[in-house]
Chain A
């Protein structure tokens, strides 16, 4: 599975959009981009995933560049409860379900 690079930490003001970048320059054509978040010592929570098209759900939007070498997770109206570590993971479709986790981005939402 491809390796991902994320900033160690980011701040965002409450009510503003939080944009979390992820670099996956070695991604292969059949690898999906997944985003999870983990709020202090709880189990990781699935947010969204995509292959090449942009995706949106009730939690967030995922923007994947045309060359697929990077992506951005957007939380449209961040709240204090969105403070968490956000993980970007790439995984081959149909492969085993082992996820390889990096260090993630610590997102702090400030009032």
Chain B
């Protein structure tokens, strides 16, 4: 069974731009969670989607948003990028209460 896939794997943007990241969960998994990982803050929860509905949200500003499609694929969007948004963005899909992570998208904001 294929794992969680994330695209793109690497991305370079400049301040003020926006970015959209994509995540395809493991087939049959309906819950998708997003995390941000930075050296200083570690892994921090962004939000979780289940059946196209956001069920939980972490403590991030409104510039961070997401959505989930009927096929369980998910996207997250960051608008008005700031230097501090440079991070590894991780997506995880959940089945039977266990999260399985993708390889991440490394975003660099210049």
- Least CB distance, B74 to chain A, in whole angstroms: 13
CA distance A34 to B97 in the complex (A): 10
CB < 8 Å neighbour of B102 from A43, A49, A98 = A43
- Least CB distance, A106 to chain B, in whole angstroms: 13
Contacts of B88 in A (CB 8 A): 41
CA distance A49 to B99 in the complex (A): 11
Residue on B nearest A45 in the bound complex, by CB: B101
Q: A43-B4, A44-B90, A94-B97 are in contact. Are A103 and B42 (CB under 8 A)?
A: yes
CA distance A42 to B44 in the complex (A): 15
Chief secondary structure at chain A's binding surface: loop
A17 at the interface (CB under 8 A from B): no
Q: A42-B104, A44-B101 are in contact. Are A97 and B43 (CB under 8 A)?
A: no
Q: Which of B39-88 contact A (CB under 8 A)?
A: 42-45, 48, 55-56, 58, 88
Interface size band for B: 20 to 34
Contacts of A41 in B (CB 8 A): 88, 104, 106
A13 at the interface (CB under 8 A from B): no
Q: A43-B90, A44-B90 are in contact. Are A97 and B99 (CB under 8 A)?
A: yes
- Least CB distance, A91 to chain B, in whole angstroms: 8
- Least CB distance, B18 to chain A, in whole angstroms: 24
Q: A97-B31, A103-B42 are in contact. Are A46 and B99 (CB under 8 A)?
A: yes
Contact: B101 with A98, CB < 8 Å? no
Contact: A44 with B43, CB < 8 Å? yes
Contacts of B104 in A (CB 8 A): 41-43
B residues bordering A, Cβ < 8 Å?
A: 4, 31, 33, 35, 42-45, 48, 55-56, 58, 88, 90, 92, 94, 97-104, 106
A residues bordering B, Cβ < 8 Å?
A: 32, 34, 36, 41-46, 49, 91, 93-94, 96-103
